[in-house]
Amino acid sequence: MDVRDQVAIHEAMEQQTISITKAGVKAVLNARASILAAANPIGGRYDRSKSLQQNIQLSAPIMSRFDLFFVLVDECNEVTDYAIARRIVDLHSRQQESVEREYSMEEIRRYIAFAKKFKPRITKESQEFMVEEYKKLRQRDANAMSKASWRITVRQLESLIRLSEAMAKMVCEDKVLVGHVKEAFRLLSKSIIRVETPDINLEEEPDVPGQTDDQMDAEDGEQLRITFEDYKKISNMLIFHMREFEEKNKDNEEGALRKKELVDWYITQIEEEIEGEQEMIAKMNITEKVIERLVKVDNVLLEIGGGEEGDSPYLVVHPNYIVE
């Protein structure tokens, strides 16, 4: 999305106005309307290893002003693909005849106009239920290691209120009942998506130009893999520790940790979970592979020195990296 368009939609969603300057005359128009937006991911395919924000390149302030987000991942499925193709062919062959309508357009317009007349009030029970559900969202967000659409803030509470009122209007009720809040919370929970991500291949190398798919499949045989959640947990622990160490020792000559020191620190943090020497060796191997991936694939860490034989390199966090 173009930066100028982002500025324009930001004003419309935040202040519900649109400013227009033409021939030296500036006008501010009201823009009180619901916004339904659709976006394609960068490259035309949703990258599960990235967050929703990184896939569509929208700024966080704009994303936080949408009440609901839904991601449609185009996956190959024989049954679904057949049904979609059959439907499209029917639409082109029979056009209007193939479209089955329960209600006419005039009936829908009359229903919407009537539902808008209701101004439902939130009952005390619904208020208490909203507070409890919001607390659950906050706790789940704090504990979640997967990629969420956004961080849970007061804006999501405001979304919950708006959706609950909309549910009451939809059934032409004067009060917002607990049932309406439950349905709004279900929608919000589905919208605050955590797209399932594939397991991380810790032996993956950066893309090699000219490498064929067959070569990549052959190299992808028996390789060390961990879940995305475990990868994020380990990498975040390492990065937080490095940032803390760099901050404390910024005035010293050696203001960075060596790779071996970082591995040893992580093993001491999880030593209570380790049962035996073999498991400890496996954990050390995984930690080293995670660090290698952070350096070579993700470009989150930078290696400094370590050219001499047996000399562990220094590691620093990339200055532009922001922990999600």
**Residues 84-94: tens digit of each pLDDT:** 898 888 878 77
Q: Is pLDDT at 144 greater than 70 in this prediction?
A: no
Nearest Cα to 225, choosing from 196, 202, 198?
A: 202
> What pLDDT was estimated at residue 147?
46
Nearest Cα to 51, choosing from 112, 7, 59, 173?
A: 59
As a whole number of angstroms, the distance between CA 12 and CA 181 comes to 27
Q: What mean pLDDT is predicted for residues 122-144?
A: 83
- Residue with the larger pLDDT of the pair 204 and 36: 36
> What pLDDT was estimated at residue 121?
93
What amino acid occupies position 271?
E
As a whole number of angstroms, the distance between CA 115 and CA 166 comes to 9
Q: Is pLDDT at 212 greater than 70 in this prediction?
A: no
**Residues 39-90: tens digit of each pLDDT:** 888 888 887 767 777 788 777 778 878 888 888 877 787 888 888 898 888 8
Question: Strand 301-304 to strand 257-258: parallel, antiparallel, or no bridges (unpaired)?
Answer: unpaired
Cα 82 → chain centroid:
30
Q: For the range 304-310, what are the long-range contacts, defined as Cβ-Cβ under 8 Å and sequence gap of 24 or more?
A: 304/256, 306/258, 306/259
In Å, how far are 67, 137, 164 from 157, measured between CA atoms? Answer: 10, 9, 11
**Residues 223-276: tens digit of each pLDDT:** 688 887 788 889 889 999 988 888 888 777 667 888 899 999 999 999 888 888
Q: What mean pLDDT is predicted for residues 143-171?
A: 78
